[in-house]
Copies of this chain bind each other. A is one copy, B any other.
Amino acid sequence: MDFVLGGARSGKSRLAQTRAEASGLIPVLVATATAGDAEMAERIARHRAERDARWHTVEEPIDLAGALRREARPDRILVVDCLTLWLTNRMFAADHVPPEDVDAAGRALAASLPELAGPVVLVSNEVGLGIVPDNALARRFRDHQGRLNQTVAAVADSVTFVAAGLPLVLKGRFPEEM
């Protein structure tokens, strides 16, 4: 299980996709985005245009652990893009969910990853390196995202930070580069 972490438009999705394509397995995108507004719909369309024809796509905004369990197979490589949108969906789909439950969902997801029947590459955003946000919800989101990234990184075989399209290995090594 490989974890790719980076900023907005850092090239993290492309790196994850390139790695998946290089694996020789059938690449499956597990998309957590929902085309809720025009801006997001345009983003999804652009990302889709950047992927080549070999890709299968599965959309799952909420039950990510379930989707991974269903889709994982030894002849496939799953790319989850991305955990940040999944976290957004979890926080806003159910705004009465207390904070600890969002973190619990992250821990449950992380615990399920080593059990999957095939390899998975997870993509996430680092969002904690700017100034403290003005509003409390953004601060809560930032805390949840930071904890989720730590939880996933702890069980990952490799963790790569991406900046300006370039990878920086924080842990392990991606199989194709060994």
Instruction: Name A's B-contacting residues (CB within 8 A).
Output: 3, 5-11, 39, 126-133, 136, 138-139, 141-143, 145-147, 149-150, 152-154, 159, 161, 163-166, 168, 170-171
Contact = CB atoms under 8 A, between A and B. Distances in A.
13 contacts: A3-B164, A7-B128, A9-B128, A9-B146, A128-B129, A130-B130, A131-B133, A149-B163, A152-B164, A153-B165, A154-B165, A159-B164, A163-B170
A156 to B, nearest CB: 9
Quick one: copies of this chain in the complex? 3
Nearest to A168: B170
B7 A150 contact: no
Contacts of A171: 166
Contacts of A150: 9-11, 164-165
A-side binding surface: helix, strand, loop or mixed? mixed
Nearest to A126: B129
A143 to B, nearest CB: 5
Contacts of A5: 163-164
Contact of A128 (B10, B138, B159, B166): B10
A160 B131 CA distance: 20
A153 B128 CA distance: 20
A164 B127 CA distance: 11
B147 A9 contact: yes
